[in-house]
Structure 1
């Protein structure tokens, strides 16, 4: 059965491919008019370069192979963000703010979700060179605009800040293994096991770790956290950053989750995730990841977001299934040929039948070009 593809790998058929491509063009144009420049990193790189700044978060998700030219280990990219950080730090080497965007296939060793593809089309935007909260604000607002443009506006955008947990872990003097265990339990919100893991943690930090999973909800949670968490400067700064986002984005459905530690070893500030009804996980993810460019020769502030364009296209309302116009063969009719070209210049899809072809087998034709009194006009139905 040579036609079978590997598990969680699938072809994209014409209608879905057309919708993905239309969305790709629309979003890249949206990025362009906001000053984000398109980059196209290679599909494979030296493994160390692909994993820079991500630690073990990407290592298990990355396919590896040996380069027959150099003998070095290569990786098929599982995330384009480290590649874009490399381009900013090493190739462009600009001093000020740089805005970059990208769209391309990535490959995962395992699917992120049970029904997900192992070959997502990762689309995203990154802002380098600005450490202020205004950059995070721009990234969150841009993510929301992209989802709205795709026809799937976010029903909820969760905001977190990894600095809260990092400050508590540092002040409590946690051993590495204890910190890793508490981090894991917070991520899955396993409260009973969290109580056991925190048993020997000194107060007030034990109570703070146990309280984090409950600090979830609207902006009032930030004031609750300010009252109940230890008065550490890093926590105060993180809460102030989230208050600023709340005040600056009243048009968005923001909520706050102080136990959202996704990408903890990668991110170092504000993190955010957008959700859409009926989808079992976040439809878009982002956050601040300062310093990833250090291994490429230059430490730079950075923030951004990404999403799987295939999933976005699948969820988006695509409108009509076809919308093409069926036309007779025009080789011997110059008036017909001119009308076909005029319609195509207007953006219409016109399928010109070949001699002997009786119907439109490709795009779903819902209209027909017919002759009436020597004039070629579009009829809204298909008929004889």
Structure 2
């Protein structure tokens, strides 16, 4: 028999206690109000779906993250959502009327089948926004700007933005003629900036020396956006096709516009290839000095709608609302607590309690009133009895 406590929670799963829950609700409210002011409409995707629809078009990475169960009604396999982005893309394609552009936002708990190894929760409260139907750099700038504003209203104002573009890496992959398996292997090594591993792999593949040098250079091409893009144009000169060159230009355009709009530092990292396989263009992440990992992440995923029968431009971002709890010392002012005796069939007492609550007091009805605490006390007797607030009130 196990000696483990029956009350222990699974790894990466935690509970939210009153103080945290109150702070989460305040941030959630402010964030949804921000989305609404920007024109993003709230949707609520289902917690579970049939696995073959939940994972369609999202690639192997999300499959490994998804917790799977068997539906007792249909006998089919269900998946608990691990990321709401694909669900929102399906809602845009199938559940809502066709429009040229659509802005959607969402908030809810997702469940991951495994931990990320970096201290992240397996049950993040995912908040995100998605913009469908716009393929210009203006859309990239809008979504990144919204991401930074959402972080700011959550208390995270000091951030560093890290921008990348998967099109640069893919242009080098095309030039090298790598198949999908080798592309994934190389992408994983670049994400980890494992330079010795990358160098040996490229030697083993007998890759052209110039291309091998350019691919390895992606690990070094990170830093302030202007200098990094200038270096990339020099070091990758002649090796990028038209799409790869356009990716660099798009990155420069967006970085310049973002730098003018946000207070934080704007960096470029051309080995920034994290994320699921459906990302197709610009990728971005926000970092806070109070965390050792990104606090928000997003990018373009223009191809995801194709599997739903409606391929069109799409981009967005998401974050874990609970990550914001440690980013601000802001606390809501505590309500003044007043106690009232717990009594049945006393309409005068009920009216007095209701009036205080309407005035903003927190009124607790109990048989155990702390000594000296502000309370409702009976004044008079019989037909003339009323209830009045007594005791020392803290108005600070």
Q: 1:145 aligned to 146, 149, 153, which one?
A: 149
Give the Cα separation in 1 of the matches to 2:147 and 2:273.
20
How many angstroms does 1:295 deviate by?
1.3
Structure-2 residue corresponding to 1:227: 234
Counterpart secondary structure, 1:198: helix
How many angstroms does 1:328 deviate by?
3.6
Structure-1 residue corresponding to 2:174: 170
In the TM superposition, what whole-angstrom CA distance separates every residue of 1:159-203 from its partner, at most 9, and x where no partner exists?
000000001101111133332222111010011111111121114
Does residue 72 of structure 2 align to residue 60 of structure 1?
Answer: no
Give the Cα separation in 2 of the matches to 1:359 and 1:54.
60
Q: Is contact 1:325–1:369 with CA below 8 Å preserved after alignment? A: no
Q: Is contact 2:375–2:389 with CA below 8 Å preserved after alignment? A: no
- Summarize the Cα distance change of 1:262–1:379 in structure 2 as closer, same or farther, 3 Å threshold: same
Counterpart secondary structure, 1:244: helix
Structure-2 residue corresponding to 1:201: 207
Which deviates more, 349-358 or 78-87?
349-358
In the TM superposition, what whole-angstrom CA distance separates every residue of 1:97-130 from its partner, at most 9, and x where no partner exists?
0000000010011122443221111000000011
In the TM superposition, what whole-angstrom CA distance separates every residue of 1:313-346 from its partner, at most 9, and x where no partner exists?
24332326x61212142865699547623432xx
Which deviates more, 285-294 or 44-53?
44-53
Give the Cα separation in 1 of the matches to 2:141 and 2:392.
48
- Summarize the Cα distance change of 1:9–1:205 in structure 2 as closer, same or farther, 3 Å threshold: same
Counterpart secondary structure, 2:74: coil
Query: Normalising by structure 1, what TM-score?
Result: 0.89
- Summarize the Cα distance change of 1:369–1:99 in structure 2 as closer, same or farther, 3 Å threshold: farther
Give the Cα separation in 2 of the matches to 1:163 and 1:359.
69
Counterpart secondary structure, 1:148: helix
Q: 1:282 aligned to 287, 294, 299, which one?
A: 294
How many angstroms does 1:52 deviate by?
2.3
How many angstroms does 1:370 deviate by?
9.1
Give the Cα separation in 2 of the matches to 1:174 and 1:238.
19
Does residue 386 of structure 2 align to residue 380 of structure 1?
Answer: no
Structure-2 residue corresponding to 1:326: 337
- Summarize the Cα distance change of 1:236–1:114 in structure 2 as closer, same or farther, 3 Å threshold: closer
Superposed CA RMSD: 2.5
Counterpart secondary structure, 1:8: coil
Does residue 248 of structure 2 align to residue 236 of structure 1?
Answer: no
Query: Which runs of 5 or more structure 1 residues have no equivalent in the other structure?
Result: 361-366
In the TM superposition, what whole-angstrom CA distance separates every residue of 1:205-246 from its partner, at most 9, and x where no partner exists?
111101101000112111111122124211211111111112
Counterpart secondary structure, 1:60: helix
Q: Is contact 1:336–1:376 with CA below 8 Å preserved after alignment? A: no
Which deviates more, 98-107 or 291-300?
291-300
Give the Cα separation in 2 of the matches to 1:108 and 1:30.
27
Q: 2:284 aligned to 264, 272, 278, which one?
A: 272
Q: 2:102 aligned to 94, 98, 101, which one?
A: 98
Q: Is contact 1:291–1:299 with CA below 8 Å preserved after alignment? A: yes
Q: 1:158 aligned to 159, 162, 165, which one?
A: 162
Query: Which runs of 5 or more structure 2 residues have no equivalent in the other structure?
Result: 378-387
- Summarize the Cα distance change of 1:376–1:98 in structure 2 as closer, same or farther, 3 Å threshold: farther
- Summarize the Cα distance change of 1:335–1:231 in structure 2 as closer, same or farther, 3 Å threshold: closer
Matched pairs, number: 369
Q: Is contact 1:216–1:257 with CA below 8 Å preserved after alignment? A: yes
Q: Is contact 1:152–1:317 with CA below 8 Å preserved after alignment? A: no
Structure-2 residue corresponding to 1:210: 216
In the TM superposition, what whole-angstrom CA distance separates every residue of 1:340-382 from its partner, at most 9, and x where no partner exists?
23432xxxx523343442179xxxxxx95799xx887983379
- Summarize the Cα distance change of 1:154–1:239 in structure 2 as closer, same or farther, 3 Å threshold: farther
Counterpart secondary structure, 2:366: coil
Give the Cα separation in 1 of the matches to 2:58 and 2:16.
30
Query: Normalising by structure 2, what TM-score?
Result: 0.86
Give the Cα separation in 2 of the matches to 1:56 and 1:182.
16
